[in-house]
Structure 1
Amino acid sequence: MAYNPQNGDISVAGPSRVPGNHHAPNFMSSLHPPMQNGHPYASPPETPQTMPHSTGGSEEAGESHNSYYQSTTAAYHNEEILSHLYHTGFQMGHIENRQYRLHSLILARSTTLAHLMSTASHSSPQTIYISLASEPLITEEGFSIALGFLYAAVSLQLVHPQNALSVLASACYLGGMDDLAAHAYEVCKSSISLETLPTWIEFVESIVGDEVEPKASSASDRDKDGSSGRRSILGVYAERLRDDVMQYFIGALPRELGAFDPQPAAPPPSTQTPSASPDRPSGHDVYLRLFTLLPYSLFKSCIESPLLPAPSDHVRYNFAKACVAARKPGRGRDGEETVVLAFGTEGGSAVCLARKARKKALWKVTK
């Protein structure tokens, strides 16, 4: 990303747009405030009508009306300025090769951009480059929405489940956008479902890795909030999203699927219904297949979690054994996973998972 205070250019490192495209991105074209004389303005407030009073309070009433009119006029004036800045200064700004013709006063609302502008060389022209190649969560769309939020809150309308994580990452990266980050987080949280769960599992794995108890290699690898360096861009939101995904996966989803409900006896082949056909797996089978996607650290924590609604330790044990068998062709290849059922335990789960490295194959050579 490059910023030039002489003409207000910002560019983000990456492939170029189509040459000659000087318009806002397509995903922002639907946002146009009401137009008045060719400019986006809010509707002006109506002039309040003072009513005659038969009592002696007409003077106080007039002052009240004047105060109300002044406050509404000021609010309208502020909204008019913001609408003009957002539409003319941002949406209609020059956007080519990911260069945004913006304004340093507006950009200074971002703590990151304010710092970069204050520490950059004061030579003319002045250019600041920011490479986002190391931030895979940030996309062009999410970054543009975050920049637009510096101008007006109308950017909140552009956040949807498909871009919410990128918007959240962009807001955290730029700084000074607590409202946008909180809104994007809520959209992310509400998007967690059976259909999106594989994607969210990949996200959680990128945070925790495959260690049973992930630890930072040194104090320098951890942020002030205690999170490791690979999740520093999201800060505390990484921990929240991880907890949200796991709470849904362990607590809500098995109840939605009926994964641990008693299975009805299989009907005779002559009376088998379509709902019992192999093409329509049961909730138990669907839930079991999702466990094959988990890294070992998450697999272990889910099976042993007290939130897992298994009706008994015996049911939990059999389910864990079925998961281990299903994981062998994929995730289970990294180590030998075993299930242990402990007796006489007080509190916690009686079912425990263990993993050990597979033994290397030995070849006997005879002469």
Structure 2
Amino acid sequence: MLEEKVVVVTGASGGVGRAVVRLLGEKGAKVALIARGETGLATAATEVGTLGGTAKVFPADVADQAQVEAAADAVEKELGPIDVWINVAFSSVFARFLDVEPAEFERTTAVTYLGYVWGTRAALRRMMPRNQGVVVQTGSALAYRGIPLQSAYCGAKHAIKGFTESIRTELLNEGSDVKITMVQLPAVNTPQFDWVMSRLRRHPQPVPPIFQPEVAAQAIVHAAEHPSRREYWVGGSTVGTIVAERLIPGILDRYLGAYGVKSQLTDEKPTGVANLWEPADQTRDYGAHGSFDSRAKSRSPQVWLSQHRNHLLAAAAGGMATAALAALRRRR
């Protein structure tokens, strides 16, 4: 479904974005790679081409609206009209809220939230006159539930969710065929935990259970191909977190207050690398995976169930109807 389609991916040089562009390459898409780290971007572009797609690199800082617009112009000039825009790029600070400097909080918000705003704006300005296109927002269970040590990131993900809901209602009001959807992810084994700014005494880790970035990429690409669903939830832990937040938020507060900090810390020292102000992959390619391969899951049955929900419901309804007809025949 995405063969020869023009797909923009922000944060394409590493982590989930890197896994997404690889999968798009396998599908034969024309992939526009946006990020700051040119070493990671160059290697990612080579991978896309090797896998069967077409790739072009467009270095940009997504926090800068003018850079995002210029990148979008260049994409359409070099690859053609944008069919899909996937927002993935983010940055953050691991620290207690009062240990985060105001400029660092603003920068995290500019990259992680406003980066999605500027990407979505650039996409819609080009898609809406054509009345076609898809925007995919890469979210998180933390868009529903804040946790300690990640106040800036959680605030940004909550903001993305509200922003996306607002845009969706505007598109519906206008009767537009442009679609916008959001994919809420669990903890993922990406280089985020190797290059995120940290003021912790120990190296940060994803809150278990941890999934490989390919699980996230499969869900994101599926959402791009099937954008009529307003949201996709990836992983049983994401489902559990969102449901618990709806049903027992106070209990969840106390649980995270007691265990939320410890669950995000390893016994190792921090790397000292930080990509908040400058790209960590400017001279080194980090790839898609982080340092938790031995603990990360490469599959999620919940994702398959979520993607095939309509088919399962139809099958269940058909089974019930068949059983009802059989019961009626027996009564005759």
Does TM, scored on the shorter chain, surpass 0.5?
no
Name which structure has the greater RCO, CA cutoff 8 Å, separation 6+: 2
**Structure-2-length-normalised TM-score:** 0.26
Q: Which of the pair has more CA radius of gyration?
A: 1
Structure that is richer in strand per residue: 2
**Structure-1-length-normalised TM-score:** 0.24
